[in-house]
Amino acid sequence: MEAYKVANASGLVKLDAMENPYPWPKQMKTEWLKLMAEADINRYPDPSSALLIKKLRKTFDIGDDQAVLLGNGSDELIQLVLMALNPSSCVLVPTPSFVMYQQISTSLGLPCECVPLNADFSLNMPMMLEAIKKHDPAVIFLAYPNNPTANLFDENDIIKIVEACNGLIIIDEAYQPFAGKTFLQKLTKNMPQLLVMRTVSKLGLAGLRLGYLVGDKALLEQFEKIRLPYNINVLTQLTATFAFDHIKELDKQAESICKQRESLLRALGDVENITVFPSQANFILFSLLDKSAKNVFSKLKKAGILIKLMGNVEGLPTECLRVTVGTQEQNKQFLNALTSIYNES
């Protein structure tokens, strides 16, 4: 294994980590700071995060028939699910996908089977169904939209996977604010093995490290048994509860990001010898047809722009880069730098 490395973005336009680029309005930040000043940081936080979960239910229309489990980011929720499995249980993921599914499985000694996506990044259903039949996975992770490909898998394909699998299916909706589609309201007693996982990071709260898992009460009770007490600190509980009172502002920022995404997609599509892939997330994957991705990445970094060099990711074209959608000005800086590189003799 290798440690998960995060690039140093000091002094750079940071377009590498799918963060929301917009700060809170001044008045909202002032109100929040007053709230933080009243926090009892000498006391342990509410171990059940009751007020936060109540606010989550109301904000995202989560029914009382479903349970909610909070984690220190989605990463902890992935870890909790995998820690609850019997030894040697199989984990199944399409590839390429979010690296932490395989990373955490490997760290826990669980076999992780990877099924390549089709060339258009859709699910390879014959291979998925064959892998389910062969390996009988205890958990299947499906990112919706997928990272790093930014596309939504076909809803009917996902339902077929749910029907074919004896284990859990985790729909990871980290980028739901930009996709306009969700499985959250599709959770029913008829499909208790279907769970939805989300994070508030892409909404503009990445610094909080808060994720939540929604699904069958009996299942989530098992994960609660191994959740560490006080895993959601008092500042996160207060801040997230406050932020959800201002969900309209966060939604407005997400709408702006979607508009900037469409503009960025069109502009990248106009650059010769670049293949741009469709996006339903807040980032765009593109491949270079006549240049080295490593060289372009380095030149962009020298120009003060940090994006993501994908490297040798199985299932992606060889010369791939990924850029987070920033503000209009940040996107302009990125495009100008990229165009300048392409205009070099």
Q: Which domains does the chain have, with CATH numbers?
A: 13-18+248-342 (3.90.1150.10), 41-245 (3.40.640.10)
Q: Which residues pair with 213 in a beta bridge?
A: 69, 197
Please give the pLDDT value at position 95.
96
State residue 37 phi and psi, 5-degree precision: -65, -25
Please give the pLDDT value at position 221.
96
C-alpha dist (Å) from residue 293 to 12, 84, 128, 151, 296: 19, 40, 31, 21, 5
CB atoms within 10 A of CB 119: 9
Residues 51, 237 contacting (CB under 8 angstroms): yes
Please give the pLDDT value at position 312.
85
Please give the pLDDT value at position 248.
96
Q: Is 81 helix (H, G, I), strand (E, B) or coil?
A: helix
Please give the pLDDT value at position 6.
81
Segments in the chain below pLDDT 50: 345
Cβ-proximal residues to 331 (8 Å cutoff; 6+ apart), any chain: 260, 263, 264, 267, 325
Residues 46, 55 contacting (CB under 8 angstroms): no
Q: Is 132 helix (H, G, I), strand (E, B) or coil?
A: helix
Assigned token pair, 286 = 């593109």
**Cα-based torsion angle of the residue sequence 118, 122, 125, 130 in order, rounded to the nearest 10 degrees:** 60
State residue 95 phi and psi, 5-degree precision: -135, 140
CB atoms within 10 A of CB 162: 19
Q: What is the pLDDT of residues 63-106, one digit of tens each?
A: 999 999 999 999 999 999 999 999 989 999 999 999 999 999 99
Q: Is 83 helix (H, G, I), strand (E, B) or coil?
A: helix
Measured at the CA of 307, the angle between CA 301 and CA 312, to 5 degrees, comes to: 105
β 168-172/13-14 pair status: unpaired
Give pTM, 2 decimals: 0.95
Please give the pLDDT value at position 2.
76
Please give the pLDDT value at position 185.
87
61: part of which helix (H) or strand (E)?
Answer: none
Please give the pLDDT value at position 9.
83
Please give the pLDDT value at position 5.
78
Cβ-proximal residues to 322 (8 Å cutoff; 6+ apart), any chain: 16, 148, 283, 284, 285, 286, 307, 308, 310
